[in-house]
Amino acid sequence: MQMTDREDLAALDQADPLANLRDRFELPAGVIYLDGNSLGPLPKNVPARITEVVERQWRDDLIRSWNIHDWDRLPLSVGDRIAPLIGAGPGEVLVGDSTSVNLFKLMAAGLELRPKRKVIVSQSGNFPTDIYLAEGLIRQLGAGHELRLVDGDDVLGAIDDDVALVSLTQVDYRSGYVQDLAAVTAAAHDAGALMLWDLSHSAGVMAVDLAGVGADFAVGCSYKYLNGGPGAPAYLYVAQHLQDQVRQPLSGWHGHAAPFEFETHYRPAPGIVRQRCGTPSVLGMSVLDAALDVFEGLDMAAVRAKSQALTGQFIDLTEQRCGGHGFTLATPREPARRGSQVSWHHENGYPIMQALIADGVIGDFRSPDILRFGFAPLYLRYVDVWDAVTVLERVLAEGLWDRPEYHARAAVT
């Protein structure tokens, strides 16, 4: 349904079943934040939680907190809170390390489980770290493996009997294109390959069902739609039936079956625990644990429906009010194929985005020419869509983007 004015969108906000969640975030006045797909905002309950951890647990209980406050179980307990958001069961998700490190672990484990196969399939537009890690692992193994990169639409045709592992991101970070989780996983298994999903741009805004589609492995970051804070620990998923088969290469002491026996040689722990490596980041995991409170009892189907509505309205309004200014839609129009973002190609994408940010509409830019806008349904309103397009319209009509300071590239875009 197309909205003709701001009042129509305000009416949607009045009827929005998720509207009350906005009050659970610290959102700066005068800012429309459309970059939660890169860094989520601060949940209001986080400062009190971090104060508790620092000023009581760390300061007063010191090293005793590993037992008194269950610090050592945080990778498992926080993982169990993420599990329902990605369609996993208890004991199938572990929090720790970074997305890159977790990718390396699971890629290596997957190749070891398929020793006679030499191909990793990934998409050519995959996030760079997913590709770089595969290249680095292949180089380290020196066993003749091949990284087969194909366009997103061509993935199914690239999976054959030579493939050991299919490694894909569910939602493309540039365009927002959504891979068919069930179809690709089934194709990988039909060919005898294993399936590894990167959920960094889908967890928290889409109803993901890893167990339902039979996925083998998954990874994801927690600082985007899960709002875990800058540099928050990542997570990984290993299907229950594979957990005692996999041997991850980073055999640190926390993955040992009895770490405080201090045995000379490595003996992997049973289950998901063997995916642990070093000492967990207690502060980072405590922040993430608090941030996940907002998802308790949340209907992810309702979150996804609002996401599709927000992105659809943004596409329609931008084309209605900013048409003729050289924008080309990079994001699929079909709602089922669109993640919780809208991306536009424009030859002056970088300075336009900088002008928007200066005027209180925060998105980001992805090389070579993409303006990217993320729509997090937990705190964004429908009127924010109207107001953001109003600012974009003014930036374009008045040529505000063409100031010299907006053309100067910053280190982080």
Measured distance CA(220)–CA(206) in Å, rounded: 13
Of the candidates 223, 314, 350, 375, the residue annotated as catalytic is 223
Measured distance CA(405)–CA(401) in Å, rounded: 9
Helix, strand, coil in percent for the chain, rounding step 5 = 45, 15, 40
Measured distance CA(41)–CA(62) in Å, rounded: 30
First to last CA, the chain: 33
- Contact predicate 105/76, CB 8 Å: no
Beta-carbon contacts of 197 under 8 Å, excluding residues fewer than 6 positions away, are: 168, 169, 170, 181, 185, 210, 215, 217, 218, 219
Residue 264, classed as helix, strand or coil, is coil
Of the candidates 130, 198, 216, 359, the residue annotated as catalytic is 198
Does 224 participate in catalysis according to the annotation? Answer: yes
123 beta partners: 150
Of the candidates 217, 372, 382, 406, the residue annotated as catalytic is 372
Does 372 participate in catalysis according to the annotation? Answer: yes
Of the candidates 224, 304, 306, 366, the residue annotated as catalytic is 224
Tokens 């061509």 appear where? 154
Residue 338, classed as helix, strand or coil, is strand
Does 406 participate in catalysis according to the annotation? Answer: no
Does 127 participate in catalysis according to the annotation? Answer: yes
Q: Which two structure tokens, joined as six digits, stand for 196? A: 């590894």
Measured distance CA(346)–CA(328) in Å, rounded: 7
Q: Which two structure tokens, joined as six digits, stand for 376? A: 């997090």
Q: Which two structure tokens, joined as six digits, stand for 177? A: 């294109």
Asked if residue 368 has a cis previous peptide bond (ω within 30° of 0), the answer is yes
169 beta partners: 198
Catalytic annotation, residues: 127, 198, 223-224, 372
